A and B are shown apart, each in its own frame.
Chain A
Amino acid sequence: MNDIDNLVRAIDPAPRAPDHSPGARELRAAILAEDRGAPIAATRHAGRSGPRRLLLGLTAAAVLATGIVVGPSLLEDGSGVTPSYAVTKDSNGIVYVTVRDFSDAAGLRRQLRDLGVPAIVDHAPHGQKCQEPRGTYVEQIPAGLYSVPENIPGEARGPGWRMRIDTKLFRPGQTFVWTITDSPGGSSTSTILMTGPVAPCVLVPDDTRGKVETNPPYRVATLKDRTLAGLRVDEKTVGEVLPELEKRGLKVKFLIMGIAPGNPGGYGELRTQDTPVGDDWIVWEAEESTREDGVIRLLVTDKRYDRNPVYGGPRDDIIKE
């Protein structure tokens, strides 16, 4: 029957097995951004909730940076294995980072720098996070730059992990940005490749913790069948938009957006406030509250940018209706 098997093999219609293509990486990031109902709070990247996530549905994840690795959680189960981390480099420029405990962020940062790995390591206590955005995400990550964290050889059941980084593949100006966050029962880290200047970590309260995103508090209001269907607010000034909303008897809040240097697309949520902002501020989108009727939240910045940060370009490129 081997002949039969060989014949069937010969008509295998499979295309060439892909290596990890941009589409594959993007799908992985998009799936990881999907809520599973029981979010692991600290592993979700701050600033990627809310409207960014909504965008996922609208733009098929094209806006989600493929360059995000939301990394491993290090369960500190008190096994007391030492040392807490180790960084080794071989002659080919391959660095192995072995981590068992991230509490010594400064030590790890120093050791990485000494071995030529451009990395920033920050530590956020429980309930806090680094304020976003801090820099520009790298969308095209060189293949082989880093490996998925894997178990430490010989410690399959241990809490730590090992990651392989090929330092030859860093492009000038690129930095690995690791943020370690404490949480009850362990800690977790996100690893993001950024390019250009990276702002220092400014600790702010982490209010994203535990939010279940399948029921976001706000959603885009200007789509069909929503509160502001047919009304365009994007790229207008607050002074142009407010009178219409007031005329309709709507209560208005403001989401103050944080824009990374160079406006790479996307934004961080600095705060949401009732206090009015200047009439000359720029509106990029309007959202409606899913909790209270008649509440609109305008996404605003204090100055005009070259493109709409909410959509990474013109709204019309993304929303077709």
Chain B
Amino acid sequence: MTERDRFEAVYDAYYPAIYQYAARRTASPDDTADVISETFLAAWRRIGDVPEGERALLWLYGVARRVLANQQRGASRRAVLAERLRDELATERPTTPVELRHVRAAFDALPERDREVLALACWEGLTGDQIANVVGCTAVAARTRLHRARKRLAASLQQQSFPAPVMGEA
């Protein structure tokens, strides 16, 4: 296989996953398109570094994560490569159902580190080991972070249910 074949295979296999990863974490179609195109452009330029098999996806998540971090630091680049893609993305996005808005609010209120591991676990469906691979920490640290994030979210939702803590009399 040439590098081109390899890139095409990686792109075709993981485009939907990276598309969703980007869409989940960006507010506008422009930003989504940027993250997708920057991520795959990096993959094309460094195709020799992309690991085999499913680890390729974790590698791509890691790149997308850095692209996103740079983008959020300001000066986001408008990828000219993804013009048509941007138009496609401009179509509707799902909104959070009314009955789950409180969950969304509690999630959004979590620290970024918590949100990141929860999203990787629940939206991308990654295990602790895989999360460690993406964010660049040890598996133990990833599992600890995930555990704490779940607890914090649970506590936050608990508080929402009982907005005024009842002081027991007994």
Contacts and interface: CB of A to CB of B under 8 A. Distances in A.
B139 interface: no
B161 interface: no
A72 B2 contact: yes
Contacts of A56: 80-81
Contact of B154 (A4, A13, A15): A4
A14 B24 contact: yes
B135 interface: no
B40 A188 contact: no
Contact of B104 (A11, A24, A28): A11
A193 B19 CA distance: 27
A22 B84 contact: yes
A147 B85 CA distance: 21
Contact of A23 (B2, B85, B107): B85
A34 B2 contact: no
Contact of A18 (B16, B82, B97, B119): B16
A11 B103 contact: yes
Interface string B95-115: 011001001100100000000
A10 B122 CA distance: 9
A70 to B, nearest CB: 6
B68 interface: no
Contact of A31 (B5, B40, B89, B93): B40
B83 to A, nearest CB: 3
A73 interface: yes
Contacts of A69: 8
Interface in A163-206: 188
Contact of A70 (B4, B83, B157): B4
Interface size of A as a range: 35 or more
Contacts of B88: 18, 21-23
Nearest to A37: B45
B15 interface: yes
Interface string A1-25: 1011101111111110111111110
Given A20-B15, A24-B85, A34-B44, A9 B123 contact: yes
B80 A57 contact: yes
Given A18-B16, A150-B9, A40 B83 contact: no
A27 B85 contact: yes
A4 B107 contact: no
**Secondary structure class of chain A's binding surface, majority of residues:** mixed
Nearest to A42: B2
Interface residues of B, number: 52
A32 interface: yes
A12 B17 CA distance: 13
B140 interface: no
Contact of B44 (A9, A19, A31, A149): A31
Nearest to A26: B84
A99 interface: no
B100 A62 contact: no
A36 interface: yes
* Residue among B84, B94, B121, B150 with most chain A CB within 10 A: B84
B45 A36 contact: yes
Contact of B80 (A19, A22, A61): A61
The 8 closest A-B pairs by CB, nearest first: A23-B85, A60-B83, A73-B2, A8-B122, A17-B16, A30-B81, A23-B84, A14-B20
Interface of B: 1-5, 7-9, 11-12, 15-17, 19-20, 23-24, 36-37, 40-41, 44-45, 80-89, 92-94, 96-97, 100, 103-104, 107, 118-119, 121-123, 147, 150, 153-154, 157
Interface of A: 1, 3-5, 7-15, 17-24, 26-28, 30-32, 34, 36-37, 40, 43, 56-57, 59-62, 69-73, 148-151, 161, 188
12 contacts: A7-B103, A11-B96, A13-B23, A14-B23, A14-B94, A19-B16, A21-B88, A30-B82, A62-B83, A72-B4, A149-B5, A161-B5
